[in-house]
Amino acid sequence: MYKFVITSTDSFEIANKISNRLVTSKLSPCVQILDGLSSQYIWKDRIESQKEYLVIVKCKSANCKEVAKYIESVHNYEIAEIIQSDFDILNSKYKKWFDKSSI
């Protein structure tokens, strides 16, 4: 019923744009931006290193595709990392707030 949608970017502006849009549209009641990450990855047959922001979007499963579509539309990478994972809410008060705060 609930999903994490996760992406990363080297731009705080892009991370903030994703967060602001998804929260104001109520596609997600909570987006977290983690700073200070160091990523290593293979790109065009080379190992690359980069400082990045990790963007963790929490949403209802029904909103997942729209969240991913928006991230892809504004992302600054040629190929945006957009992954999802299920989660359960264990705190009943948080669950009530979450469900009330998102569409």
* Its pTM surpasses 0.85: yes
Cβ atoms 60, 2 nearer than 8 A:
yes
**The domain defined by 2-89 carries CATH number 3.40.50.300:** no
Task: Let me know if 16 is exposed, middle or buried by CB neighbors in 10 A (0-12, 13-18, 19+).
Answer: middle
Helices (runs of H) and strands (runs of E) counted in the chain: 3, 4
pLDDT in tens, the chain (103 residues): 999 999 999 999 999 999 999 999 999 999 999 999 999 999 999 999 999 999 999 999 999 999 999 999 999 999 999 999 999 999 999 999 999 999 9
Q: Which two tokens stand for residue 57?
A: 């979007």
**DSSP one-letter code for 25:** T
Structure tokens at 100: 């009330």
